[in-house]
């Protein structure tokens, strides 16, 4: 027999004996735990980015919109990892607690007293992204039901504006500051009381964003802006950030309201920076900050909250409703505000 063949037989025999010995010992194969650590690490980075407001780039910004769901996922992962990798479970538990601390307060109305300054008249605000094809009759019925003093209409096309007028909106809200357009860039403000267009208040970046002063019975005034930046998709992420930064801050001389499709949620640093300048989110103030507004009327139900009514923190939010609107992919937001008295 060749020495090479003989050597091969001996090696095979030795290997077989070692395998048999291993089988008899009953030793379990070593588990690979890197998938658990990879998943746990990803959510830990998510939690740190959300806490620090460090999201960068289009994908990261859009991912932040799903933060409320990350709370649920990390909770489930913590239970799963308890049976596989307890150290990874600890990481996901900490991530879950961190994210929950940023999300849960939106579903809990504040217990703070109404601001003393908010003893003026009521201002009712309705905002809807019309998507250029909302059911005009349904919109008019909502206006009749909620009786807003001002209606912020986004993605207002010439055709949609004509349909709203034909459905009777002009009779309910006769004062108008409109910047309709052929496509999604159009916007407008409809008022129950006199509206005076404001120019030079800020530089609109993205879609048209008309601004106006509404004069309520008794003389109290407020400034309203129809907000609609472009979404942070691809190279527009920086433009979106600049658009939110360009919105006017509150003024000590007049109450300002920003109402529209911000293409942003409370989990975006840029949106929180805007609030930090002196605004409150009406839905968050009434415990409805987690009610999603987009997409609507599709096979997938609404799952992100990007439509808002913001108001000067000196005002009080008495009521907020999130409403369905046939024909558009957004839900509308209605807010009843108590303003500071006229100076």
Q: Which of 18-27, 207-216, 318-327 has the lowest mean pLDDT?
A: 18-27
pLDDT for residue 29 = 56
Decide: helix, strand or coil at residue 126: strand
Query: Does the structure show a pLDDT above 80 at 154?
Result: yes
Query: Does the structure show a pLDDT above 50 at 21?
Result: no
Q: What share of the chain has pLDDT > 70, as a percent? A: 88
pLDDT band at 118 (very low <50, low <70, confident <90, very high): confident
Query: Does the structure show a pLDDT above 50 at 3?
Result: no
pLDDT band at 116 (very low <50, low <70, confident <90, very high): low
pLDDT band at 112 (very low <50, low <70, confident <90, very high): low
pLDDT for residue 148 = 98
Largest CA distance in the chain: 114
For range 241-265, the mean pLDDT: 97
Average pLDDT, the chain: 91
* Both tokens assigned to 239: 């433009």
For range 42-62, the mean pLDDT: 97
Give the whole-angstrom CA distance, residue 21 versus residue 30. Answer: 17
pLDDT band at 343 (very low <50, low <70, confident <90, very high): low
Backbone angles phi, psi at 229, to 5 degrees: -75, 160
Q: Which of 19-23, 122-126, 188-192, 286-290 has the lowest mean pLDDT?
A: 19-23
Give the whole-angstrom CA distance, residue 65 versus residue 74. Answer: 16
Nearest to 270 by CA among 206, 334, 180, 342: 206
* Both tokens assigned to 96: 């879950």
Q: Are 179 and 210 in contact (CB under 8 A)?
A: yes
Backbone angles phi, psi at 323, to 5 degrees: -120, 145
For range 276-285, the mean pLDDT: 98
pLDDT for residue 110 = 76
Domains of the chain (ranges; CATH) run 34-106 (no CATH), 116-338 (3.60.10.10)
pLDDT for residue 88 = 97
Query: Does the structure show a pLDDT above 90 at 221?
Result: yes
pLDDT for residue 341 = 81
Query: Does the structure show a pLDDT above 70 at 114?
Result: no
User: What distances in angstroms separate CA 323 from CA 194, 298, 306, one per listed residue?
Assistant: 26, 15, 14
CA 82 to chain centroid: 32
Query: Does the structure show a pLDDT above 80 at 16?
Result: no
Give the whole-angstrom CA distance, residue 31 versus residue 29. Answer: 6
pLDDT in tens, 57-111: 999 999 999 999 999 999 999 999 999 999 999 999 999 999 999 999 999 987 7
Q: What share of the chain has pLDDT > 90, as a percent? A: 84
For the chain, where are the alpha helices, taking DSSP H only? 3-25, 34-52, 57-64, 67-81, 86-103, 136-146, 158-166, 169-172, 237-246, 269-276, 282-285
Top-confidence residue, 142 or 119: 142
| Range list of β-strands (E), the chain | 122-129, 150-154, 175-179, 187-191, 195-198, 211-215, 221-227, 255-261, 279-281, 307-312, 316-323, 332-338
pTM: 0.89
Q: Are 197 and 211 in contact (CB under 8 A)?
A: yes
pLDDT band at 119 (very low <50, low <70, confident <90, very high): confident
């Amino acid at each position: 027999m060749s020495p090479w063949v003989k050597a091969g037989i001996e090696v095979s025999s030795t290997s077989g004996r070692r395998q048999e010995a291993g089988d008899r010992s009953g030793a379990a194969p070593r588990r690979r735990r890197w998938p658990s650590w990879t998943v746990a690490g990803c959510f830990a980075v998510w939690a740190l980015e959300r806490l620090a407001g460090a999201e960068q780039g289009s994908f990261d910004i859009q991912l932040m919109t799903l933060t409320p769901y990350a709370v649920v996922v990390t909770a489930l992962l913590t239970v799963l990892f308890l049976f596989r990798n307890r150290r990874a479970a600890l990481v996901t538990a900490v991530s879950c607690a961190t994210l929950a601390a940023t999300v849960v307060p939106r579903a809990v109305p504040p217990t703070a007293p109404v601001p003393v300054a908010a003893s003026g008249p009521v201002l009712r605000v309705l905002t809807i992204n019309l998507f250029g094809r909302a059911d005009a009759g349904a919109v008019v019925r909502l206006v009749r039901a909620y009786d807003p003093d001002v209606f912020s209409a986004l993605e207002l096309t010439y055709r949609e504006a004509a349909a709203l007028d034909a459905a009777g909106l002009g009779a309910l809200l006769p004062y108008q500051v409109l910047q309709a357009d052929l496509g999604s860039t159009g916007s407008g403000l409809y008022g129950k009381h006199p509206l005076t267009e404001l120019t030079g208040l800020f530089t609109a970046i993205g879609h048209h964003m008309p601004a106006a002063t509404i004069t309520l019975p008794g003389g109290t005034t407020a400034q309203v802006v129809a907000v609609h930046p472009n979404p942070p998709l691809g190279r527009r992420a920086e433009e979106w950030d600049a658009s939110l930064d360009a919105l006017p801050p509150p003024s000590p001389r007049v109450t300002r309201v920003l109402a529209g499709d911000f293409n942003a949620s409370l989990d975006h640093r840029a949106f929180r920076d805007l609030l930090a300048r002196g605004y409150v989110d009406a839905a968050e103030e009434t415990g409805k900050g987690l009610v999603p507004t987009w997409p609507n009327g599709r096979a997938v139900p609404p799952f992100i909250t990007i439509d808002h009514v913001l108001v000067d923190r000196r005002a009080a939010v008495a009521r907020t409703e999130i409403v369905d609107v046939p024909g558009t992919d957004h839900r509308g937001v209605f807010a009843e505000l108590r303003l500071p008295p006229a100076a």
